[in-house]
C-alpha cells in the first residue's frame, strides 16, 4: 500500500512510528505502530496478542516464535499422552 501526497510517492512503511499519549511508568511517546500497553506488565508491547498467565509475560512480536513452539509442544504432548493412555480406557478385563 502506498500514499501519494503533493505529487510524491510515499510507501506506507515510510512512517513506522506514530505519536501516542505517554503511558504511566514508561514515559514513551513514540511507539511502533500496533503497539499496545499491557496493564499487567506495565509496558508497551509491539503487536501485543495477550498477557499469558502461564508464562507470566506478554505474547507479542518479539516472542511469537517461542509462543507457537510452546503451543506446538503442548499439542504434541497431549496427542502423545492420549495415544499412550487410550488403550487402558478400553481394556475392560
Catalytic residue IDs: 52
Beta strands in 15-62 (DSSP E): 17-19, 30-32, 35-38, 43-46, 50-52, 57-59
Chain centroid to CA 38: 11
- Reading the block at residue 81, the C-alpha cell is 499422552
Amino acid at each position: 500500500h502506498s500514499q501519494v501526497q503533493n505529487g510524491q510517492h510515499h510507501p506506507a512503511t515510510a512512517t513506522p512510528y506514530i505519536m501516542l499519549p505517554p503511558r504511566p511508568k514508561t514515559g514513551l511517546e513514540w511507539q511502533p505502530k500496533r503497539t499496545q500497553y499491557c496493564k499487567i506488565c506495565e509496558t508497551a508491547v509491539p503487536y501485543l496478542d495477550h498477557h499469558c498467565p502461564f508464562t507470566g509475560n506478554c505474547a507479542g512480536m518479539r516472542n511469537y516464535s517461542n509462543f507457537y513452539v510452546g503451543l506446538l509442544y503442548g499439542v504434541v504432548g497431549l496427542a502423545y499422552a492420549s495415544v499412550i493412555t487410550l488403550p487402558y480406557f478400553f481394556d475392560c478385563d
